[in-house]
Chains A and B, each alone.
Chain A
């Protein structure tokens, strides 16, 4: 799959996009120093008259970013960020379009990125960010000195292309902790208070699986929620994992660390995994019916658990993560360069991702800020979760976020290679194949990519 971006004639739409990009590029990235102020470089490129002109901006997101109550009519958000922005900028009208799932947004994004028709501000999720980065030239550069230091380093690194253009303004992140069932830990004779569990699981993956084995030996039940979930945690700590950052070649099969992690996990999962697919019906049901005792959990997972396990009263959060830190999920706001209101759109993206607003979004919908300054905000710092026995989520996840290292390089083929390996793990889970035979199939699949 070598995209020949420079080889053949560009279509009309792409040509227009590039033209728009050149214009946008001139006004922002090429002259960094003189045209900036505290409010952002975008301000300068619009004339004062244009400021007063009415503008309609479209904002497209998915899931529940926490901007406006239409995302979750039942939840009744405390803050309406959309209205707040329109009040502060009377000339701006925002049309808010929210898709139910990230997958829908992705399909829409790639269908319209070339020909045009995307919203002025488009939300992009971490899972498909590597694919978006291939087309970073079609998105406006958001680089601005006023934004320096706003986000966690890893958040900025993932949205910066090879030319140093920042194409995404980070919204939330998913620093992972360990969610566990205290009564099940107690049953197994293990420490069950959050600090005790944190001590127990403090260490590498081998330690995590040792505890898991103890749990299994004591109870005969599965320890963790799903093999796929644990793999996600392990592979995100291997750098480089699947692809070489310089050449873009697939190195997954030559990388001994990948195979070692696969072997380590398949050995452990035999006893310790529920063998359920993540997000399957049974997996959801398992949160309540004691199918497993631990689960790696980013902040947004808390809502999933409390929503699926309303009758379980012993869920808790341990401020720990095997082998360092880990991130699962998170998004950015991007501004397509061929949009009609690029400058106004950049201002909106800038405002929405400022620490104060993200703290409110967190209060609304639990989307954990990617802006360290927001961790001091009382809305975040003093947050706790009643369902998780009043766990101090604000401080726990702030600690977890600091432990997250910049995520390993993810190139164009990341998703396909990862699917091949998670499929292999699922086959072992299902008993379709033995670990080695299943790996061989994955090898065939991975060799077939490209």
Chain B
């Protein structure tokens, strides 16, 4: 045991902090950063709600309001929702596989440092008074060189590049880990549903994110070196931006939602105390969602005047996705109904999720219809819809997951009482705050307006929305306070406080740096419910960092792979990449010259440490 500890432990102090490649430490700092972002974006939301709580509000002018919703949306989508799902995968995937680390440990570190670069890219300029102000999707021509002088739009576009490189790095890492590092016996058919969800979300990321990187790079090129992609006078086309943005943007919603489906399934299974009902149907419906998600992007563009047939096709495709989503809901209900459910806090979040997400799904089917969408587009109905799907569909499962796995991560239980209080405040406040927005939208209140006149009659519902949002934010603070206090005061959790079915519950809480002393062997889809003890294989080295690599389909052990040690180079490379990204806002030459330190950094990162040559023309002298 002590040798394993020595082999896998980080150096103490700052050096260990900066060089660690431990997936748990990196995931933890991802999550802490996300919580800070969630707090800031939540404060922005409250500020906007206060402005709108009465007619002719004077708290904000139009410019500040534009900046607030742009910063809120960009932060929530790019700095909270996607990264937090990657973070949960980074933390959980090796534990659920009984593995010692992710496939590419230094890439994990690089991913976090670049994500942090994205955070700073958006929020440091904001602190300096330079805030993007064109919404979270910055359409040209408004964001082009003609209408958006200065660097607000560039800052937004490069923030995207940072976070997308981070998410792509994490996704390749997670996908390779799930495909090649499953424990012996965990064939694809025996893979827990959460791992399916992370695999599918990672593959979706790999295919969707290049579109947004490409389109924001094209926007920067239009602004920096006068390319003509989006300028009609030069033969460009502004709708091209929208097509590429939504080719990413719609799958993005599912990149956020699919891991959430994984959380919900894991919680439902553990707290219903029976294997997931319809495991195969669930996997197939998730696969079909992931394919359909790439065929829906035009439904974000119904109002731009595309051919009728196009609108009809995308209306039909958008409605079809309700079928696999429905199958999942029914499978969860069947699991709960036929199990012995226990309604601890994580399970309450699942109930809150199902109720809220169904409402969001129904309003989604409504706006999937092109004629109705033409009426409702750019109104508060859409604001209500996407908050129901994203908060109800992704954040509620995330909070449930947080409560479910918190004891594993910290070794302490969270307070159930305060957990329930936070749940009631957040779910109650959310529904109180956002349901009235459906009605406001039907009454014609447009989104992205900084104020409205008293003659519109929107005051009452807006005030209600502000009260609800405030209650919800209070609930969020209770949740975070509960997590912080429980870290020191919570009851000791032990390895398996919930009687969970998957391998992470066989590791100590919190797991040691090497996660598992020996490699677990799996005989079913809910491995810990198969036996009272844990079948294991010995033989991985304890005096060198080693992980087991297995075959893709049947998880047959193939070889023992050396796992890279901590290194400062991922951080230094991320700094070099950051310098290039920031510089490229000002001059195209930064891209060329910025490549030099990046290349040096990458060479040193990957430089294998072995002895000098004893053969060949350049062998070491004296050999």
The answer to whether A and B come from one shared complex is no
